[in-house]
């Protein structure tokens, strides 16, 4: 056991007007406030001024009170906020990875954990149709989206989630547009069998995800454009889509199975346009993982199995004249995995 004292006086906290920029001021010879016993060899450093400053910068005096209570052995408040990257960086500087691990262990013993078990099944068909014309306007954003099952989680507390999605329905998205003298255009036809996204910056995630798509997904986009400054046209059909952003120390186990046919068809007639980008993408299974704060908190554990038995068809037919820059892409992909470690 290591015993240390947190010192204070009546003026322990000298807060700035905005909590985001507040600082902690510790007097030179204060009277003892709290005596704390922590069974960690690095426990004394957890009361270092730099750590307290980092806590206040992230969440002000309220989060500092949570932190002090946590060290005392009590709970309360959003303890997972204490896993913010600013605080972890201060700990890394003070005591290296050993101190970071001790701190994460301390927070983990009291941080709230939410359990989610979700099952989604869709047997129906989805159709979305959008027709639009615009003349002499600043900007246009046009989207037609058909999705069998959709799930999104933004975590502020530790989460254990078990998600199952099954789609047997066929989806169709159709976009037809005509633009003249428009500054900025963004248009999308998107059809997805199953879609799931998880986002957590300071909370740990433990995810088990199973996505199965049996239905065909078709996206069609036809556009006529003249005198448009900047335009982006996208037709995308995806059987299963999974996107996860979570901190180091988290775990995800996932499986994606697609048997449906993906068709993405884009036709564009473009004249007198400065920048034009056209993309048709047909993908059986798509998985994107971003691991944040991995240099401090460690890497995530990721296990993904993908099976694709369906066909993918991507077509772009573009007639472009009197334009400065143009890019056209047709991509047909069975399985796609993207991992980004930050």
Q: Is 57 in the same domain as 128? A: no
Q: Is 170 in the same domain as 189? A: yes
Q: Is 159 in the same domain as 275? A: yes
DSSP H or E run through 97? helix 85-108
The answer to whether residue 295 scores a pLDDT higher than 70 is no
Q: Is 161 in the same domain as 249? A: yes
pTM, rounded to two decimals:
0.72
Last residue of a domain, one of 54, 76, 111: 111
Average pLDDT over all residues of the chain: 81
Distinct helix (H) and strand (E) counts, the chain: 3, 16
Beta carbons of 300 and 250 less than 8 angstroms apart = yes
Q: Is 165 in the same domain as 303? A: yes
Q: Is 20 in the same domain as 143? A: no
More confident residue, 33 or 48: 48
More confident residue, 134 or 45: 134
The answer to whether residue 330 scores a pLDDT higher than 60 is yes
Q: How distant is the alpha carbon of residue 315 from its chain centre?
A: 29
What span, in angstroms and rounded, lies between the C-alpha atoms of 261 and 267? 20
Q: Is 82 in the same domain as 137? A: no
The segment with the largest mean pLDDT, out of 21-30, 198-207, 291-300, is 198-207
Q: Is 202 in the same domain as 63? A: no
Question: What domain range includes position 76?
Answer: 2-111
Last residue of a domain, one of 111, 136, 161: 111
| Helix/strand/coil for 94 | helix
- Report the candidate in 88, 177, 92 with the shortest Cα–Cα distance to residue 129: 177
- Report the candidate in 118, 190, 208 with the shortest Cα–Cα distance to residue 147: 190
β-bridge pairing 217-247 and 262-271: parallel
Instruction: Write the pLDDT tens digit of every residue in 81-137.
Output: 677 777 777 777 777 777 777 777 666 655 556 778 889 999 999 999 999 999 999
Q: Is 65 in the same domain as 198? A: no
Total number of domains constituting the chain:
2
Residue 73 has a pLDDT of 55
Q: Is 267 in the same domain as 332? A: yes
């Amino acid at each position: 056991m290591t015993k240390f004292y947190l010192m204070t006086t009546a003026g322990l906290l000298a807060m700035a007007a905005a909590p985001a920029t507040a600082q902690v001021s510790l007097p030179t010879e204060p009277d003892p406030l709290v005596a704390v016993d922590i069974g960690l060899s690095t426990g004394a450093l957890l009361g270092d001024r730099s750590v307290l400053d980092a806590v206040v910068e992230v969440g002000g005096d309220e989060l500092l009170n949570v932190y002090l209570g946590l060290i005392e052995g009590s709970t309360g408040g959003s303890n997972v906020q204490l896993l913010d990257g600013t605080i972890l960086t201060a700990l890394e500087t003070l005591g290296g990875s050993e101190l970071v691990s001790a701190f994460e262990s301390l927070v983990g013993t009291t941080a709230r954990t939410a359990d989610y078990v979700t099952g989604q099944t869709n047997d129906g068909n989805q159709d979305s149709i959008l027709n639009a014309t615009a003349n002499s306007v600043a900007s246009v954003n046009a989207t037609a989206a058909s999705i069998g099952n959709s799930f999104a989680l933004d975590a502020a507390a530790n989460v254990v989630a078990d998600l199952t999605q099954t789609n047997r329905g066929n989806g169709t998205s159709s976009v037809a547009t005509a633009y003249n003298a428009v500054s900025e255009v963004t248009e999308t036809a998107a059809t997805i069998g199953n879609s799931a996204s998880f986002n957590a910056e300071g909370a740990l995630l433990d995810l088990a995800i199973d996505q199965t798509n049996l239905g065909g997904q078709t996206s069609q986009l036809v556009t006529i454009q003249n005198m448009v400054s900047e335009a982006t046209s996208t037709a995308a059909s995806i059987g299963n889509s999974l996107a996860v952003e979570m901190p180091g120390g988290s775990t995800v186990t996932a499986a994606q199975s697609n048997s449906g046919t993906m068709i993405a068809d884009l036709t564009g007639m473009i004249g007198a346009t400065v920048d034009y980008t056209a993309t048709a993408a047909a993908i059986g299974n798509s998985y994107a993982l971003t691991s944040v704060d991995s240099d401090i908190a460690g890497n995530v554990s990721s296990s993904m199995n993908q099976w694709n038995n369906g066909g993918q068809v991507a077509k772009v037919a573009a007639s472009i004249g009197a334009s400065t820059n143009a890019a056209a892409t047709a991509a047909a992909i069975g399985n796609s995995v993207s991992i980004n470690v930050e």
